[in-house]
């Protein structure tokens, strides 16, 4: 020991030792019990130290009891793995099996693995209730039985002992949640093989665990959820994955660590983590895509593929000559030094795949053909070249199987030694082929014809090298004319004249040129024509004529460039075309909806994105074309941006939507000029003020200190329009309960090309027209409004109020708990239907389209349409309440074709619909009730009940509605045989009141048809009807 200080050796260190009076462990108390399979027993009660295992008579650790512990008895298993000890229900987790010994059961899998010696003995897991993994750190043959679930099988590093050529084998017939191997190991196994026969949810493996072989095999009954192969620095061995099972859902790994081997099972997704997916393929393997258009691939540029099977080709091909196998070089065959006049017999042999996807030879079809030609030289696997001559024999053998769609081909070249000069001639091109090209302004036909073919003197075909001849192929005309032809001219080169003489070096081939329709680049079509602007005129302004600014261009033949090239179209080109203005808001041209431009067409509003297109009529060399609508203009206002004009007539000054002063009786004309698409505006007018407002593609929200709607009083006027036809006024749930968008109390509201929507009210979801109010609907739309428990989903017309509908559409409005899905007209209110469409509206009460109280007035003329509206789920368009003997409506002018109004009433038929007209307009009124019809007589339209017929035995009974004038109708019942021949007929004059008419059928079993005829002309009023079943 070193001195603590100096050389004083008398220094010393004194140590003192102390005894702890208390034990380091808490002693455990045990009763006197017998030992069990898994628990020790005690001869007498004691206190036992968990550290040293000694027993004591008291808790202070004194009074040691010698030989007090009774060892565990351990399990004794029968032939089925059940413990035979009394009271024990434990079942063995595994047994060891070998070919020359009985099964030996073990309580745990770990004990079985420790006691097994591979390869003579194997471990079988028959029961496993633990949450801990099964750990393998030695060479073992392990099997997981059916119905057994193992949370994990974990491979661990092998201790340093030498295993020779022995490998770990794992067979899973149950469920394994995870099979894993470490990435870093101290000792490696010679090989590891994992066979999945049932279900493995996940595999995380690395090739570092093995020296020679690391393989994962999914058998024909197995499924694997996920395989993840770690990328490690040692590329040998690769993890070999073979799938002969149902599915491997996902697999990922690096090409240096994974090899996908041939099999029959499918993969959901394969991902290469360090390259392209094809780099994962084992040598000779392909991706097979069962649902792909291209079935077989062994090259791909992507790192991921889905829905594939990995397999060898179903077959391979080898080529024989005269029965002897040839040797391929880079997949091709060459036969040299063939003498002129000899026969060359070629055949192909198939080697069928034994591992992976298999086919039979009967499922393979094959052919021989010459390179560059589509026709067959032979339609099977054999080809004989008889009396061969000097020429070019570049052959291709192609084989296809029908089961999986695999096709392969090999090249075979036969080189013939020249001898003398051979006479040849041109072979006529087959007339059955369709030789055509798309017009490109040239006569060139080189891309149209197949290769030039030659004939020997005896008529046999011969192929000569392209170095031995020159050929030209031109159309007679570059245009798409009738009876065009291709003239083919062939001349031998000096080199060719050394071996051949050519006769008949020119042929003519019938051909056509089809009109040009533009070109496709990928998925984009570039059309033959386009519309541009005439830049020399500068920028257009509102009111300027449109046509001078438009210029049509097309792909025309350019002589200097020798191809089609875009240029401006002039009148000399002779094309017929028209320009159209694309409707605002649209993206696709539609000549039926868009504006046809004429010499009178002008720019009507200022806007960026004024789009145009042209419709070009077909011509000799060009198909008809609707150009893209990409030509657009920024149209300027003539008023320096402070105003704009409509139709070159009315000028609108700019207004941002703020406070606006209008003198009493004065007029203001404004357009909404702000940049934002949504504008809050107060629109309350009085004192005979007039506001003419263009919304200019804005969405207007009406706000105000006293009114949250458009509010017109004092004889005021509001004209709403939109030159873009896309503006809208968005209403709300108004506090007053009347008119969710507007309340026309005393004044006039006129609507042009504007949408009124979003209104919610008790009455008049969008508009209420009061006693002194007028609503004029010229165009635009009223939609998406509703009343919650009142009347008129869109419009409520009070007594004295007037609505004039000249055009526009009222649709998709609702009266949830009331009448009039679109319009409700009070007693004393007036609705003038002069045009427009009312459709798609609904009500819970009556009048899904329009409901008119008794005393309300409906005037009709022009081409109004009221159809496809419903009430309570049934057709209900115009429902008018009866008013004593007055007609339900008035036809105040001529009606024209296209008009259609569905009608109904709350009264029973007959009901006078209208009177005083000289023309029969009954075809324009369609009853909502299919059991009624509209009848014209005595300058009046009447809604009548249809007659019905019943047949009981041989008695026919016909019932008619009441109110038909005497002798107005004749009722006729006719009997027919099966061939349509009339057998008997009976008739009656219909009485004015409801009545029944009976008769006996004269020919029992005959077919009966009933007719309602006009008494004056005997023309049918209705389609024939038959007795009800």
Whether residue 282 sits in one domain with residue 176: yes
Is 452 within a domain?
yes
Is 658 within a domain?
no
Alpha carbon distance 515, 436 (integer Å): 11
Alpha carbon distance 801, 828 (integer Å): 8
| pLDDT, tens digit (0-9, with 9 covering 90-100), for 394-403 | 899 999 999 9
**pLDDT at position 282 over 70:** yes
Who contacts 940 (Cβ-Cβ below 8 Å, separation ≥6)?
Answer: 887, 912, 913, 914, 915, 916, 917
Token pair 């005021």 is found at 716
Whether residue 234 sits in one domain with residue 142: yes
Alpha carbon distance 666, 670 (integer Å): 13
Query: Is residue 214 exposed (0-12), middle (13-18) or buried (19+ Cβ within 10 Å)?
Result: buried
* pLDDT the model gives residue 356: 93
225 compared with 605, residue with greater pLDDT = 225
| pLDDT, tens digit (0-9, with 9 covering 90-100), for 216-264 | 999 999 999 999 998 887 777 889 999 998 899 999 999 999 999 999 9
Whether residue 375 sits in one domain with residue 436: no
Whether residue 824 sits in one domain with residue 752: yes
Who contacts 1002 (Cβ-Cβ below 8 Å, separation ≥6)?
Answer: 975, 983, 984
**pLDDT at position 162 over 70:** no
Last residue of a domain, one of 888, 920, 943: 943
Whether residue 429 sits in one domain with residue 559: no
- Residue 756's pLDDT band, with cuts at 50, 70 and 90, is very high
Is 312 in a helix, a strand, or coil? strand
Domain with residue 389: its CATH number is 2.60.40.10
pTM: 0.49
Going through 283-326 in order, the beta strands assigned E by DSSP cover 285-288, 296-297, 304-312, 315-321, 324-325
| pLDDT, tens digit (0-9, with 9 covering 90-100), for 412-422 | 998 888 888 88
Alpha carbon distance 401, 902 (integer Å): 65
Whether residue 324 sits in one domain with residue 268: no
696 compared with 852, residue with greater pLDDT = 852
Q: Among 428-442, 607-621, 794-808, whose mean pLDDT is lowest?
A: 428-442
Q: How many helices (H) and strands (E) does the chain have?
A: 2, 96
Is 675 within a domain?
no
Q: Give the angle 740-746-748 at the CA atoms, nearest 5°.
A: 75
Is 655 within a domain?
no
Whether residue 885 sits in one domain with residue 745: yes
Whether residue 889 sits in one domain with residue 795: yes
Whether residue 332 sits in one domain with residue 307: no
Whether residue 281 sits in one domain with residue 152: yes
Chain centroid, CA 973 distance in Å: 57
* pLDDT the model gives residue 10: 53
| pLDDT, tens digit (0-9, with 9 covering 90-100), for 499-555 | 999 988 898 888 999 999 988 777 778 899 999 888 788 888 777 889 999 999 999
Calculate the average pLDDT of the chain: 88
Last residue of a domain, one of 635, 651, 686: 635
Is 847 within a domain?
yes
Domains identified in the chain, total number: 7
Last residue of a domain, one of 581, 613, 635: 635
Whether residue 304 sits in one domain with residue 328: no
Is 582 within a domain?
yes
Whether residue 189 sits in one domain with residue 229: yes
> Residue 360: which domain range?
315-417
Concatenate the DSSP letters of all residues of 849-898 into one string: SEEE-TT-EEEEEES-EEES-EETTEE-SEEE--BTTB-S-EEEEEE-TT
Is 499 within a domain?
yes
Between the alpha carbon of residue 139 and those of residues 214, 236, 424, the distances in Å are 14, 20, 77
Is 584 within a domain?
yes
Q: Residue 494: phi, psi to the nearest 5? A: -55, -40
């Amino acid at each position: 020991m070193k001195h603590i200080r100096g050389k004083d050796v008398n220094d010393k260190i004194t140590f003192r030792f102390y005894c702890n009076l208390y034990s380091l462990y808490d002693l455990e108390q045990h009763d006197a019990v017998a030992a069990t399979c898994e628990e020790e027993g005690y001869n007498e009660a004691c206190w036992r130290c968990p550290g040293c295992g000694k027993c004591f008579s008291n808790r202070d650790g004194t009074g040691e009891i010698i030989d007090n512990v009774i060892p565990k008895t351990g399990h004794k298993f029968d032939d089925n793995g059940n413990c035979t000890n009394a009271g024990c229900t434990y079942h063995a987790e595994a047994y060891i099996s070998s070919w020359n010994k009985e099964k030996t059961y073990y309580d745990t899998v770990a004990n079985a693995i420790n006691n097994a010696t591979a390869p003579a003995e194997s471990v079988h897991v028959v029961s496993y209730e633990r949450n801990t993994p099964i750990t393998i750190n030695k060479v073992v043959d392990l099997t997981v039985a059916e119905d057994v679930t193992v949370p994990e099988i974990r491979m661990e590093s092998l201790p340093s002992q030498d295993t020779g050529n022995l490998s770990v084998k794992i067979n899973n017939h149950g469920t394994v949640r995870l099979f894993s191997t470490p990435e870093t190991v101290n000792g490696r196994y010679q090989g590891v093989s994992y066979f999945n026969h049932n279900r493995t949810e996940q595999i995380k493996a690395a090739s570092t665990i093995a020296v020679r072989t690391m393989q994962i095999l999914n058998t024909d009954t197995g499924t694997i959820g996920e395989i993840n192969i770690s990328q490690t620095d040692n590329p040998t061995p690769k993890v070999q994955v073979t799938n002969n099972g149902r599915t491997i859902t996902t697999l990922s790994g690096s090409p240096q660590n994974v090899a996908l081997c041939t099999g029959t099972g499918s993969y959901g997704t394969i991902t290469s983590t360090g390259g392209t997916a094809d780099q994962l393929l084992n040598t000779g393997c392909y991706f097979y895509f069962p649902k792909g258009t291209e079935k077989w691939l062994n090259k791909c540029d992507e790192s991921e593929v889905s829905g594939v099977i990995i397999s060898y080709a179903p077959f391979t091909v080898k080529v024989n000559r005269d029965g002897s196998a040839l040797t391929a070089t880079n997949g091709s065959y060459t036969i040299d030094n063939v003498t002129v006049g000899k026969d060359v017999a070629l055949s192909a042999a198939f080697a069928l795949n034994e591992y992976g996807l298999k086919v039979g030879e009967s499922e393979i079809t094959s052919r021989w053909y010459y390179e560059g030609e589509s026709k067959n030289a032979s339609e099977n696997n054999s080809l004989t070249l008889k009396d061969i001559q000097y020429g070019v024999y570049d052959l291709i053998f192609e084989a296809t199987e029908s089961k999986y769609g695999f096709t392969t081909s090999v090249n075979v070249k036969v080189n013939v030694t020249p001898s003398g000069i051979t006479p040849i001639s041109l072979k006529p091109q087959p007339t059955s082929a369709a030789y055509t090209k798309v017009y490109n302004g040239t006569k060139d036909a080189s891309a149209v014809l197949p290769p030039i073919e030659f004939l020997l003197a005896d008529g046999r075909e011969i192929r000569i090298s392209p170095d031995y001849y020159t050929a030209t192929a031109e159309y007679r005309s570059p245009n798409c004319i009738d009876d065009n032809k291709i003239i083919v001219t062939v001349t031998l080169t000096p080199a060719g004249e050394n071996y051949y003489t050519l006769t008949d070096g020119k042929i003519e081939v019938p051909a056509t040129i089809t009109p040009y329709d533009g070109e496709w680049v990928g998925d984009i079509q570039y059309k033959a024509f386009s519309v541009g602007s005439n830049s020399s005129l500068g920028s257009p302004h509102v009111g300027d004529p449109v046509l001078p600014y438009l210029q049509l261009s097309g792909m025309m033949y350019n002589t200097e460039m020798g191809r089609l090239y875009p240029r401006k179209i002039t009148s000399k080109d002779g094309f017929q075309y028209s320009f159209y203005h694309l409707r605002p808001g649209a993206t696709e041209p539609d000549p039926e909806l868009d504006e046809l431009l004429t010499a009178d067409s002008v720019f009507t509003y200022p806007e960026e994105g004024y789009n145009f297109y042209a419709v070009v009529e077909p011509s000799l060399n060009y198909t008809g074309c609707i150009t893209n609508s990409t030509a657009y203009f920024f149209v300027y206002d003539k008023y320096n941006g402070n105003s704009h004009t409509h139709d070159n007539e009315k000028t609108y000054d700019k207004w941002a939507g703020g406070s606006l002063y209008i003198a009493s009786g004065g007029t203001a004309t404004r357009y909404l000029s702000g940049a934002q698409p949504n504008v809050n505006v107060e629109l309350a007018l009085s004192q005979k003020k007039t506001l003419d407002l263009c919304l200019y593609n804005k969405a207007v929200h009406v706000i105000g200190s006293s009114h949250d709607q458009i509010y017109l009083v004092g004889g005021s006027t509001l004209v709403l329009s939109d030159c873009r036809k896309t503006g809208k006024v968005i209403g709300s749930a108004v506090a007053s309960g009347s008119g969710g968008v507007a309340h026309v109390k005393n004044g006039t509201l006129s609507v042009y090309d504007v949408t009124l929507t979003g209104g919610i009210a008790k009455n008049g979801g969008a508009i209420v027209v009061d006693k002194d109010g007028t609503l004029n609907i010229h165009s635009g739309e009223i939609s998406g409004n509703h009343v919650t428990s009142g009347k008129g989903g869109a419009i409520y017309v009070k007594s004295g109020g007037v609505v004039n509908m000249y055009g526009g559409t009222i649709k998709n409005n609702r009266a949830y708990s009331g009448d009039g899905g679109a319009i409700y007209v009070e007693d004393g209110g007036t609705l003038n239907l002069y045009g427009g469409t009312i459709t798609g509206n609904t009500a819970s009460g009556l009048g899904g389209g329009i409901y008119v109280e008794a005393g309300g007035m409906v005037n009709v003329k022009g081409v109004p349409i009221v159809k496809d509206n419903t009430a309570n789920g049934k057709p209900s368009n115009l429902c008018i309440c009866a008013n004593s003997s007055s007609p339900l409506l008035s036809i105040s002018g001529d009606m024209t074709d296209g008009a259609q109004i569905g009608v109904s009433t709350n009264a029973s038929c007959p009901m006078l619909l209208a009177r005083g007209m000289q023309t029969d307009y009954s075809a324009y009124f369609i009853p909502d009730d299919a059991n009624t019809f509209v009848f014209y007589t005595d300058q009046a339209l009447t809604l009548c009940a249809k007659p019905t017929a019943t047949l009981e035995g041989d008695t026919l009974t016909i019932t008619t509605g009441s109110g038909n004038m005497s002798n107005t109708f004749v009722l006729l019942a006719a009997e027919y045989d099966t061939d349509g021949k009339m057998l008997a007929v009976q008739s009656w004059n219909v009485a004015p009141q409801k009545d029944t008419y009976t008769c006996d059928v004269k020919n029992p079993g005959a077919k009966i048809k009933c007719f309602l005829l006009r008494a004056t002309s005997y023309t049918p009023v209705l389609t024939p009807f038959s007795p009800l079943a």
